[in-house]
A and B are shown apart, each in its own frame.
Chain A
Amino acid sequence: DAKTTQPPSMDCAEGRAANLPCNHSTISGNEYVYWYRQIHSQGPQYIIHGLKNNETNEMASLIITEDRKSSTLILPHATLRDTAVYYCIAQEGQYGNKLVFGAGTILRVKS
């Protein structure tokens, strides 16, 4: 089972920041938080990941609370092309590449 919980859907206005929350209250100390997204009819796309510190790349920022029980993915200026299912994942297993996907959050960016 997925170790994360996310809202089923969110709306965001084009050009505004999209803030997608994720709860992972049972995450263990050596588990990373990953974010992927899946645009309709495509394979999932990696966005960002982190352990303790906040992370930023060209796509998004990841804010992880100090107790690591939750995190927020921030898309600073959402566009219509950011409409997708966003998955928050806590890494599991001995090998870092087994990702347990939940149902994710459907983000709809509207003009």
Chain B
Amino acid sequence: ETGVTQSPTHLIKTRGQQVTLRCSSQSGHNTVSWYQQALGQGPQFIFQYYREEENGRGNFPPRFSGLQFPNYSSELNVNALELDDSALYLCASTFGGGVNTGELFFGEGSRLTVL
């Protein structure tokens, strides 16, 4: 286990609803990134938070947003859910923010199903 915990582990929403996913980073880590993994594909980078600010974003629309809190935990919010948002959402933590830190520690993910 990596020490990165995510909640909830599974959830089902309907199209148009909003969802909030949560992540507690490993102790001592100040950087959190989020990835989306559709079935049968590799994870895709959504965004990263360092010192409570977004400092990198992938090709995702603005309805994907996030927060990082002073204790370095993080939330991923998705508004106006679409069927294609069904995926495993992975949180990863590390230390250092803007430099190559090499190793990311991933959680087990939150599996979102949109009906």
Chain A residues with CB below 8 A from B43, complex form: 44, 99, 101
Q: Is A96 an interface residue (CB 8 A)?
A: yes
- Secondary structure class of chain A's binding surface, majority of residues: loop
Interface residues on B, range: 20 to 34
A17 within 8 A of B: no
Query: A-side interface residues toward B, CB under 8 Å?
Result: 2, 32, 34, 36, 41-46, 49, 85, 87, 91, 93-104
Q: Which residues of A contact B35 (CB under 8 A)?
A: 101
A-contacting residues, B64-79, CB 8 Å:
none
| CB pair A98 B103 closer than 8 Å | no
Report whether B103 and A95 are in contact in the complex, using a CB–CB cutoff of 8 Å: no
Judging by beta carbons under 8 Å apart, are B106 and A44 in contact?
yes
The winner among A46, A97, A103 for most chain B CB atoms within 10 A is: A97
Known: A43-B106, A97-B33. 13 other contacts (CB 8 A): A36-B104, A43-B108, A44-B106, A45-B2, A85-B42, A87-B42, A97-B101, A98-B48, A99-B43, A99-B104, A101-B42, A101-B43, A103-B41
Q: How far apart are B91's CB and chain A's nearest CB, in angstroms?
A: 8
Would B100 and A98 count as touching, CB distance under 8 A?
no
